[in-house]
Amino acid sequence: MIEQGRGTVRQQIELPFMESVKISFQSLRIRFYRSIITTAGISLGIAFLVSVLTTAEVNSEIAKGSGQEEIFSNEEEEEEKGKGWLGISTKQLWLVTMSLIVCVVGIANAMLMSVTERFREIGTMKCLGALDGFIVRLFLLESAFQGFVGALIGALIGVVASTLIGLRSHGWNIIWDFPLLRILTICLICCVIGMFLAVMGAAFPSWRAAKLPPAEAMRVEV
């Protein structure tokens, strides 16, 4: 595609999707340590979420297996009334929500810093004909990769932590009553949530990077 404006002609080239994936991987490898910091933030938030959901699921399964689900004291009934979404308490739900919001803010901050450091790189790509959509795609792919890896690590940490808590509370009964299929489903959902939060946090920095005028980006001293 040819773009004309103010006496200049600039050819814009749409690269294949796999080329975008390759460039995104190279960028993450170059900025490996910064990527680790962003990934760690996602891991902690998802680990907390998975731990809370897995613990609630395990407790429910053990209660059913031991036939105690219908035997509640008044105090236990009050505790059940305080439970909200997916059997977790309202307090835990708020804590999980706040931790995920902090993750999104951290991702957005890291991506904004990445955009600032890469002004010249972005300007060079745009001068060579990169479309705005290509720039956005690069940043969103980087965030999605970090989100998936961070969420996967966080899910594993959360399951291990909840299993250890379950062993301490219920003993080895947790091994026989462990709801493996439902726990795997929780981990898969949380990985998707991690990717979504990472992409959402990178949306504004990606848009800002795409809107940089090429000549201005090349003049910036970083």
Out of 2-6, 12-16, 27-31, 48-52, least confident range: 2-6
Q: What is the pTM of this model?
A: 0.76
pLDDT at 72 over 80: no
**Phi-psi bin for 7: left (phi > 0), alpha (psi -120 to 50), beta?**
left
With the C-alpha atoms ordered 61, 67, 70, 71, is the resulting torsion angle positive or negative? Answer: negative
- Please name which of 183, 181, 152 lies closest in space to residue 166, comparing C-alpha atoms: 183
Query: Where are the alpha helices (H) located in the chain, listed in sequence order?
Result: 17-30, 32-65, 74-81, 90-117, 119-127, 132-170, 173-176, 180-210, 214-219
pLDDT at 34 over 60: yes
pLDDT at 135 over 80: yes
Q: How far apart are CA 176 and CA 189, in angstroms?
A: 24
pLDDT in tens, 147-163: 899 999 999 999 998 88
The mean per-residue pLDDT over the stretch 72-96 comes to 58
Q: 208: number of CA atoms within 13 Å, CB side?
A: 15
pLDDT at 71 over 60: no
Q: Is 156 exposed, middle or buried (0-12, 13-18, 19+ CB in 10 A)?
A: middle
Q: Strand, coil or helix: what is 130?
A: strand
Question: What is the per-residue pLDDT for 217?
Answer: 62
Q: How far apart are CA 180 and CA 221, in angstroms?
A: 53
pLDDT at 8 over 70: no
pLDDT at 50 over 50: yes
45, 154 Cβ separation under 8 angstroms: yes
Question: What is the per-residue pLDDT for 81?
Answer: 46
pLDDT in tens, 102-111: 888 888 888 7
